Amino acid sequence: MRTFVLRARAAPTDSARLLAGVGGEAHTEILAHVLMNAIFVAQSHREDVIVYLVLESTPDYSRSVRFEAQAMRDLGGFDERALLAKVARALDASRGMGKDEERPVEAGVRVQTISFERLVEQLAVDHRLYVLDRKGTPIGEQAFDERPCFLLTDHIPMPKKTFGILDRLGATRLSLGPRMLFASQCVVLIHHALDGR
């Protein structure tokens, strides 16, 4: 099982603002691109993938939308509009939730009011954490266990204080090369590296 966590620091937790943010400063299309490249392959989809999208532009609590590919029934297509509609439905389902609450949205999709740091702490219990860092271990030299969890960010870099938290949780810094890439491109390269093993 492969797990990807995208920290979308600019993505709004209001569904209307999320959908209106495509192509704007929030770059909400990144969410769809990560989902597309994490879950889909030609003519099919991967069953061994879980994706968490953590949306942080909010007046109350961050929202984590969890997509479990194996449990999803109606994917509704893999274009930006269809995938962002799934995220928007999860945000609508989260209205009125208090801190650290969780709700099912549809088959394979859940939403939770939780911070990125708290989510990663929970995942660290039974996953090996890998955070992307240009100065980290090259992916070709890194060994992986059966439950890797890859931590990505949108166009806003991960805060330095977060790296301290991740270091305390034992996260491995992983490099995909010297260039900064889109999160969705990172997903493709990670899948490619793991598929070849």
Full-prediction pTM beyond 0.85? Answer: yes
Return the CA Rg of the chain: 16
Summarised one tens digit per residue, pLDDT across range 139-180 is: 999 999 889 999 999 888 888 899 999 999 999 999 999 998
Q: What are phi and psi of 80, to 5 degrees?
A: -55, -45
pLDDT above 90: residue 78 = no
Amino acid making up residue 96: G
The answer to whether 1 and 49 have CB atoms below 8 angstroms apart is yes
Confidence of residue 115 (pLDDT cuts 50, 70, 90): very high
Helix pair 116-123, 160-168: axis angle to 10 deg: 20
Rounded-to-integer distance, Cα 19 and Cα 74, Å = 20
Residue whose pair of structure tokens reads 């209106």 in the numeric block? 20
Helices and strands in the chain, H and E counts: 6, 10
Confidence of residue 74 (pLDDT cuts 50, 70, 90): confident
Q: What are phi and psi of 134, to 5 degrees?
A: -55, -25
Q: What domains lie within the chain, and their CATH numbers?
A: 2-195 (3.40.1280.10)
Summarised one tens digit per residue, pLDDT across range 98-114 is: 999 999 999 999 999 99
Q: Burial level of 124, CB count in 10 A (0-12/13-18/19+)?
A: middle
